[in-house]
Chains A and B, each alone.
Chain A
Amino acid sequence: MEKKLQVNNLTVSFRTTDGKVQAVRGINFDLNKGETLAIVGESGSGKSVTSKAILGILAGNSIIEDGEIIYDGKNLLRISEDEFHAIRGDKIAMIFQDPMSSLNPIIKIGRQLTEAMILKGKVRQRESRKNFNTYLKLLEEQMIAANGGQRAAELKAKCKNFDKFEYKHLELEGAYNKAFEAAQDAVFELEALIFEISKKAAKDGVFRARKVADLAVDAIHEYVVKEEAEEIRILAKQIKSEAKLLNKQETADLTSLSSNLTRVNEILTAAVNKTAPNFFALGYFYTFGKEQLPNLPVDELNKFLRKYLDDNFMLDFIADAKKAIQFSAEASYNEKKEVIEFLKKYRPVFEKNPLDKKECLSAQKAFAKEVAESVDKMEIVKDSLAFAFASILEAEIEKYYKAVVNNAKEEARYAKQKAAYDAKVAKGKTPGMEVVPASILDLEQVRGNMLRQIDRLIEHYETKIANKDQRDYDAETVAVIDYLKANASGVVNKVTKSMAKKKAIKLMEEVGIAEPRKRYNQYPFEFSGGMRQRIVIAIALAADPDILICDEPTTALDVTIQAQILELINKLKAERHISVIFITHDLGVVANMADRIAVMYAGKIVEMGTAEDIFYDAAHPYTWALLSSMPDLDTNEKLDAIPGTPPNMIYPPVGDAFAARNKYAMKIDFERQPPMFQISDTHFAATWLRHPDAPKVEPPKSITDRIARMKERGAKDAE
């Protein structure tokens, strides 16, 4: 499972006039590719702060005390604002809770939707160009190196040819896509229009009929609509002239119009279902082929083209590329072996107690250099562990030395305050002050972290070397060529204003906004709450993000729209393989969305597990309380509201933060914080109830009843 995002020991506080509010206190989680992680908790539990930290948009009075957020080989807490610009909104997008405050009230919706697309289009074009060129160059170098410097001229020419026909391919494909999309749009529109005309209730009919006619003409292309081209042109003309009738559809005779539309629909549906030719091969044929293109049906043409390409170019190229990749990998394996030895050699430096600062830092520097060398440059998916290793180690060392100074200070302060307090008590006065416990960082723990980092990398590399023989170089070569193709297509696919508008309108339709053309030119205040939220989602999706953070996206919406939006997010997740962090307080919503759930309370994750773990086998009393405080369709008894309010995070409780509101709290809950107890491979809970010595406590009756009901229903459905 590829890890997209790792959050380790994140700690965030806020400076306020009353003191330091500890909003997030050391949370750990990771996010896999294509999964939904839900973070659930009451307001003030720190779930929004976590998401804002990931996006680097914490408020000005925030202090990131500790931790790391690793994305794409970078620690997001330590990169510059400029670097963040490339990630925020583009790779990681966010849907906010309050749609009104995340839209600009004085700019029209259309501009807000297309702004990012146009900006990003320019940047992406530049970046793709750069990526393509660097990677092709790298491939060329490695190819030549793999052959020991022989055949250099031939290999150079090959790479150049690849570059050349790749562009031809994209041109061809671009034209085809335009026509194909037009056909697709037309079919989509036609089905609705024909149905509505048959009911004599077509809204905005004249405009739509004319648009369909235009689209049908746009769909004329060699590989989309070819034989019927003339017919389509005639039909389109007729439809355009007859469209006026739709103004008086109640009375007018629409048989001719609807038969024309039906015919267009037939032709275009057939066109949409046709297979597309292999443009990659076609591009090669047009660039280097010397013969006439044979007149064959598409399937056979594809076979022919494929063979032509393979025989003349591709098989050789792939063989060479594979050799290059293998060569580079072998080289990096040797480097990796060296790194392991190096790490093992210098590990004792970090085992010393106390650490020697000079030795540590020099070792860290050497590590950074060695590890950077050991990374295989030909890898497309970056090895985040290796990439982030050096910076994490540096941060840990820094933390250690800061703590050495701070701990002494804290201890002195505590001793002084305690003495004053005791003196007052001894005199029999009321102290009138509070002794703030010393906040001391465990140096051993930090040192342990460093060692763990080193061990983790050694283990990582060792498994890599052990799995050396299982590597599938063929698949990797294909991935490399796909990567090159994708980057090349980024160069050709320019985003113009009209294209952005088209895409925006499509997105608006996709998120369920009626009459998007009219809506496109409206201001946010003209939309209702649900509609505004849809716009916000459309804006977030416009950038094709990698990770989507949804901060209570449906809290302000009603059930049907909520269901639609959840379905929309699920669909997009499946289509684009994006990872979703879903923040909410509504567990009902989570059941639908989440693969895994983290329950947060007072800045800590108190329970974490798969959706099934949390809903069928919850372990933490707070999760029980959340589950039993919401009614479902069969609830009749009084709801178990959670008494009281969350604790004041300026003075977080010494023990379990939930103890004061917890009817299952034991003595130890008020004294010591519970560690994370592992319940199963995927299920963790921080509650003393899971300690082996703890008394056995059953979850509240309302929950056990509900689970029984769910099981019953499940059994019934299975029948």
Chain B
Amino acid sequence: MQNNEEVLLKVEHLCQYFGSGQFVTKAVDDVSFDIKKGEVFGLVGESGCGKTTTGRSIIRLYDITSGNVYFKGIRTCAGTGAYRKNILEAKKEYKAKIDAASDAAEKDRLKKELDAYVAEQKKELKVASYDQKNCDKDYQLQQAAAVKAKYLPLLEKASGAEKAQLQAQYKDELRKAKKTRLTTQIQMIFQDPIASLDPRMTVREIIAEGLVIQGERNQEVIDKKVYEMLELVGLVREHAGRYPHEFSGGQRQRIGVARAIIMNPDLIIADEPVSALDVSIQAQVINLLNELREKFGLTILFIAHDLSVVKYFSDRIGVMYFGKMVELASSDELFAHPLHPYTRSLLSAIPLPDPEYEKKRKRIVYNPLAEHDYSVDKPSLREVSPGHFVQCNEAEYQEILKQLNK
């Protein structure tokens, strides 16, 4: 891990609800974390706990319900749900107050207060939805401006054949700049290497697709880059002309990795990249990801349920349970001192290649109703020791502190 405190991705109060009205499923509910540049952040939890949804929300496969996601300091996702909820609640609250108020002046004052609050929330809402829609546009304009600033002075000075060449280059780059999107710097590797590759495209087409969409038209450049990527992930040039079904599982996953890194991303969201693979191939893919990480200083959001792999690969780990982040700590700390009962239950379920130990291993069952009493005091994510966050309420927080100080 590089000792870098620069935050690459910041997720704030991310909520992703599905369905509407009575049947809302809170897939992700108020999750916050940030990922520093160059680190691997592991996200674990059982199936259906929302870890994949979190990953997909970050890369904007879903429009999030509320919360913010900042990538490189730019807000890429902004949900409006929170503001709408605020407005509704405020209106309800003030209505009761206004009804209770006796004199007209008081009523007037309250009404004004409400209007001011609503206006403020509406403004925030507007900004958020503008950001949600236009974060790429702003980024494109920025990029275009940079290209213009670079070429326009050069163009003025140049003349003749040189100028024509520069002109062409300028046009090409400007076109590309207008097509770039901020989110292409976040790339995803999917779980199932069979389902995530189009069976009717050759490997070359699959890997180059991103480049083509981004506006690259020069076939030579594309080929060169594709070959480079293939060699990087341990395949050979000849593989470019083949179709996905001609490869084994591990090789297909390598194609998935190549497709992600050809865009030169800063952040890779690896959604269970090794879960569907054999043990021996798992090791190959993990080693590959490790090499790439060292080579390019990639930042990786590693989503998985295999805790031994996550422990081996990640610097920090977040544990999710039913859409909530229940514990977040560095990987060594988390495995040495699990504090949340769910984490303990999760750790007790890891199978190890040691029959003696396995015969004695007792799985801890987690039953949230029996473990916590949240009827009065609602829980939140609190920092119990530097870098170690646990979802707990005040009473539990004190309990944990007592335990830690012992």
Contact = CB atoms under 8 A, between A and B. Distances in A.
A530 interface: yes
Interface stretch (B73-81, B348-356, B384-392): B348-356
Given A560-B349, A591-B351, A625-B280, A714 B356 contact: yes
A529 interface: yes
A195 B312 contact: no
Interface in A639-694: 639-642, 645
Contacts of B47: 528-530, 557-558, 561
Given A588-B308, A631-B311, A710-B356, A559 B280 contact: no
Q: Which 9 A-B pairs have the closest CB atoms?
A: A558-B305, A631-B312, A563-B349, A629-B283, A641-B283, A588-B351, A611-B355, A639-B283, A642-B280
A558 B280 contact: no
Interface string B361-377: 10100000110010100
B325 interface: no
Which of B284, B354, B373 has the largest count of A CB atoms less than 10 A from its CB?
Answer: B354
A293 to B, nearest CB: 46
A232 interface: no
Interface in B241-299: 248-250, 275-276, 278-284, 286-287, 290
B243 to A, nearest CB: 17
A202 to B, nearest CB: 10
Which of B280, B351, B373 has the largest count of A CB atoms less than 10 A from its CB?
Answer: B280
Which of A42, A529, A530, A558 has the largest count of B CB atoms less than 10 A from its CB?
Answer: A558
A623 to B, nearest CB: 11
A242 B279 CA distance: 56
B353 A615 contact: yes
| Chain B interface main SS type | helix
Interface string B331-364: 0000100000000011011111111111011010
A641 B369 contact: no
Interface in B30-49: 45-48
Given A200-B375, A631-B311, A635-B312, A42 B358 contact: no
B110 interface: no
B335 to A, nearest CB: 6
Contact of A638 (B290, B354, B363): B290
B352 A591 contact: yes
A560 B350 CA distance: 8
Given A560-B349, A587-B279, A639-B283, A710 B307 contact: no
Contacts of A201: 369
Given A199-B373, A631-B283, A645-B250, 10 more contacts: A529-B47, A530-B46, A555-B276, A559-B351, A562-B351, A588-B351, A615-B355, A626-B280, A638-B287, A638-B290
Contact of A559 (B278, B350, B373): B350
A631 B309 contact: yes
B306 A559 contact: yes
A633 B290 contact: no
Contacts of A630: 279, 282-283, 308, 353
A646 to B, nearest CB: 9
A641 B280 contact: yes
Contacts of B311: 631, 633
Given A196-B369, A200-B375, A633-B308, A639 B287 contact: yes
Given A43-B249, A626-B280, A631-B312, A559 B354 contact: no
A615 B354 contact: yes
Contacts of B354: 591, 615, 710, 713
B349 A591 contact: no
B48 A589 contact: no
A592 B348 CA distance: 13
Contacts of A586: 279, 351
Interface string A590-633: 11101000000000000000011001100000000111011111
B369 A199 contact: yes
A713 B360 CA distance: 12
Nearest to B45: A558
Contact of A633 (B352, B358, B370): B352
Contact of A567 (B335, B350, B363): B363
A195 B348 CA distance: 25
A562 B349 contact: yes
A626 B279 CA distance: 7
B312 A592 contact: no
A717 interface: yes
B283 A640 contact: yes
Contacts of A641: 280-281, 283-284, 287
B48 A528 contact: yes
27 contacts: A43-B249, A199-B369, A528-B48, A530-B47, A558-B46, A558-B47, A559-B305, A559-B306, A586-B279, A587-B279, A588-B308, A588-B350, A592-B355, A615-B353, A616-B355, A629-B279, A630-B282, A630-B283, A632-B308, A632-B353, A633-B350, A636-B312, A638-B290, A639-B287, A641-B287, A642-B284, A710-B356
Contacts of A633: 307-308, 311, 335, 350, 352
A195 B370 contact: yes
A585 B279 CA distance: 6
Nearest to A40: B279
A482 B86 CA distance: 72
A706 interface: yes
B355 A591 contact: yes
Interface of B: 45-48, 248-250, 275-276, 278-284, 286-287, 290, 305-309, 311-313, 335, 345-346, 348-358, 360-361, 363, 369-370, 373, 375
A134 B394 CA distance: 72
Nearest to A711: B356
A559 B45 CA distance: 9
A283 to B, nearest CB: 42
Contact of B46 (A555, A559, A640, A714): A559
Contacts of A632: 308, 352-353
B353 A588 contact: yes
Which of A612, A633, A640 has the largest count of B CB atoms less than 10 A from its CB?
Answer: A633
A627 B369 contact: no
Contact of A591 (B290, B345, B358): B358
Given A196-B369, A588-B308, A612 B345 contact: no
Contacts of B280: 42, 625-626, 629, 641-642
Contacts of B279: 42, 585-587, 626, 629-630
A560 B347 CA distance: 9
Contact of A710 (B46, B357, B369): B357
Interface in A569-588: 585-588
Contacts of A631: 283, 286, 308-309, 311-313
Nearest to B251: A645
A639 B280 CA distance: 10
Contacts of A591: 351-355, 357-358
Which of A42, A559, A587, A611 has the largest count of B CB atoms less than 10 A from its CB?
Answer: A559
Contacts of A612: 355-356
A130 to B, nearest CB: 43
A706 B278 contact: no
B356 A559 contact: no
Which of B311, B312, B348, B353 has the largest count of A CB atoms less than 10 A from its CB?
Answer: B353
B308 A561 contact: no
A559 B355 CA distance: 17
Contact of A195 (B282, B335, B369): B369
A575 to B, nearest CB: 18
Contact of B351 (A199, A557, A592): A592
A559 B349 contact: yes
B283 A559 contact: no
Contacts of B375: 199-200
Given A195-B369, A631-B312, A560 B46 contact: yes
Contact of B353 (A627, A639, A717): A627
B48 to A, nearest CB: 6
A151 B206 CA distance: 88
Nearest to A703: B353
A564 B305 CA distance: 14
